[in-house]
Amino acid sequence: MSSQVSDRRGVELDAWINFLRAHAAVTRQFNSELQATHGLTLNDFDVLAQLARVPDGTLKRVELSERVLLTPSGITRLLNGLERAGYVRAGKCETDARVTYAILTDEGREKLRTASKTHLASVRALLSERFEKDELETLAELLARLPMRGDETACDPE
């Protein structure tokens, strides 16, 4: 094996390990802050944010699970908790009984509004303490090259 191949593999592995560690640390930090301040997990916050991004606050459950990168059973458990809290309600499709919707409630919209302030402050503090504006632009461009599921444009729930 040539030293160039070996060096590249070493750099790739270092990048991967740093990416995983950063993801785990940031997720843990944001989860902790949202839990302590608002009683939400980062996944709860993400679900509320995904629902708020569509005009009527309604998404098919299966589509929502893809957007937040959870399994169908994982999204069901998460939505059950958000439904109990009154932040989301379930909806049925009138033409296909197999299709169910997650619908953002007014309480959920308000919870997201208040939690967003904490989340945005955390994001800004994390990034502005470590990166200059041009570095953030480069970071955003580099991360955008990675494959991501779940960020397709929302489908009409009808």
CA distance 118 to 109: 15
pLDDT digits (tens, 9 = 90+) for 29-42: 999 999 999 999 99
pLDDT of residue 150: 45
Measure the CA–CA gap between 60 and 43, rounded to whole angstroms: 17
Q: Comparing C-alpha atoms, which of 69, 118, 109 is closest to residue 78? A: 69
Q: Spell out the alpha helix ranges (H) of the chain.
A: 3-38, 42-53, 61-67, 72-85, 106-128, 133-144
- C-beta separation of 68 from 49 below 8 A: no
State which amino acid sits at residue 119: H
Per-residue pLDDT band for 148 (boundaries 50, 70, 90) equals: confident
State pTM to two decimals: 0.81
Position of tokens 């740093």?
18
Domain limits of the chain? 3-144
Residues 63-115 have pLDDT tens digits of: 999 999 999 899 999 999 999 999 999 999 889 888 999 999 999 999 999 99
Domain 3-144 top-level CATH class: mainly alpha
User: Among residues of the chain, what percentage have pLDDT more than 70?
Assistant: 89
